[in-house]
């Protein structure tokens, strides 16, 4: 870079896949390997995990990358916290320790609960004075936030403004569309350093890490309950509003989550996507399949 642009010169470069910007071509090239899956520095299997076959592309410290990866298989977690939890990486320990030291600077004078952000406290205060300024035009329900009202009214209007360009399914919210679109791709470039799970987005990986560190950064403004994942908070909020935004087009039943609706629809379609490997029966859910498989085990069926 210095030979082309001069020493000390920084040039902003970006990748076409995700539009992230980088100061030099070396950082850009390394980042692009997340999208391409390229592992250019693998030589003679030296930096390849013998347990699962994964290889490592860091040219500077491939051996330590491999060692950290192997902790997933061995269960080794060399960074302990005084509370008893331990972690594979020092940065995960540091992230976890924030839950022991984090201050909640904004207390509620009504109930004593405290919050990390002023905006969250303001929304929480609405639950004490009973103020729900956003009223539904179609029924008697009212909401503390405009976004909640907008989402609710789509149940009445049937509006599903977000369409998947791949399969043309439509959705009530942009978040539902984004989550659905990931189902068309099997690429999961973001792996968890604590366990074998991997994820399609950095956000999903980050929220999953909260389940290891104990962080629960997503707080309900109504009751103060907090969650590791934003989706858990969204589901929980529906218990306060009484909203059931996912409606069956066949019978009109409503559900809290799209997953519950999907399972319900199989009653109408007769779909049974979980077949038994040992007989000709199939089931609408994986839970029912597992329950059925136990009957084979009880009959001493040989599992190869």
pLDDT of residue 89: 80
Q: 257-275 b/e with 16+ CB inside 10 Å = b? A: eeeebeebbeeeeeeeebe
Mean pLDDT value of segment 201-225: 87
> Over the Cα atoms of the chain, what is R_g?
25
pLDDT of residue 247: 86
Return d(Cα 69, Cα 85) in angstroms, integer.
19
Helix (H) or strand (E) holding 163: strand 162-163
Q: Which residue has the higher pLDDT, 56 or 220?
A: 220
Ordered by start, the domain boundaries in the chain are 2-76
Q: Which residues, including other chains, have CB under 8 Å from residue 37's CB and lie 6 or more apart?
A: 189
Q: What token pair was written down for 137?
A: 């035009």
pLDDT of residue 287: 85
- Look up tokens 């022991």; give the residue: 100
Residue 59 has pLDDT above 70, yes or no: no
Confidence of residue 1 (pLDDT cuts 50, 70, 90): very low
300 phi-psi bin (left φ>0, alpha ψ -120 to 50, beta other)? left
CATH, domain 2-76, list 3.40.50.2300, 3.30.160.60, 3.30.465.10, 3.40.50.170: 3.30.160.60
DSSP state of 55: B
pLDDT of residue 13: 56
Residue 216 has pLDDT above 80, yes or no: yes
DSSP string spanning 185-222? -----EE-SSSS-EESSHHHHHHHHHHHH----EE-TT
Mean pLDDT value of segment 263-270: 88
pLDDT of residue 102: 62
Q: Which residues, including other chains, have CB under 8 Å from residue 62's CB and lie 6 or more apart?
A: 41, 46, 47, 56
In the predicted model, what is the mean pLDDT of the chain? Answer: 77
Least confidently predicted of 75-79, 138-142, 204-208, 253-257: 75-79
Return d(Cα 180, Cα 167) in angstroms, integer.
10
pLDDT 10s digits, 158-178: 888 888 888 888 888 887 887
């Amino acid at each position: 870079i210095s030979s082309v642009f001069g020493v000390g010169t920084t040039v902003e470069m970006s990748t076409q896949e995700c539009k992230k910007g980088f100061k030099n071509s070396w950082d850009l090239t390394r980042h692009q390997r997340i999208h391409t899956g390229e592992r250019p520095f693998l030589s003679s299997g030296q930096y390849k995990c013998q347990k699962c076959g994964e290889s490592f592309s860091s040219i500077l410290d491939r051996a330590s990358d491999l060692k950290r990866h192997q902790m997933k298989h061995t269960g080794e977690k060399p960074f302990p916290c005084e509370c008893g939890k331990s972690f594979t990486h020092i940065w995960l320990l540091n992230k976890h320790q924030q839950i022991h030291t984090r201050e909640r600077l904004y207390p509620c004078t009504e109930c004593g609960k405290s919050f990390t952000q002023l905006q969250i406290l303001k929304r929480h205060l609405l639950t004490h004075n009973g103020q729900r300024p956003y009223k539904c035009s179609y029924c008697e329900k009212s909401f503390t936030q405009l976004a909640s009202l907008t989402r609710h009214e789509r149940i009445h209007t049937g509006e599903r403004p977000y369409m998947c360009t791949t399969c043309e399914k439509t959705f009530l919210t942009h978040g539902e569309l984004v989550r659905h679109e990931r189902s068309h791709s099997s690429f999961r470039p973001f792996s968890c350093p604590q366990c074998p799970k991997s994820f399609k987005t950095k956000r999903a990986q980050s929220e999953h890490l909260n389940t290891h560190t104990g962080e629960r950064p997503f707080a309900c403004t109504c009751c103060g309950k907090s969650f590791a994942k934003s989706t858990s908070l969204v589901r929980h909020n529906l218990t306060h509003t009484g909203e059931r935004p996912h409606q069956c087009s066949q019978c009109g039943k409503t559900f809290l989550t799209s997953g519950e609706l999907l399972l319900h629809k199989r009653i109408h379609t007769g779909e049974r996507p979980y077949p038994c490997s040992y007989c000709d029966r199939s089931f609408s859910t994986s839970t029912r399949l597992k329950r059925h498989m136990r009957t084979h085990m009880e009959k001493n069926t040989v599992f190869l």
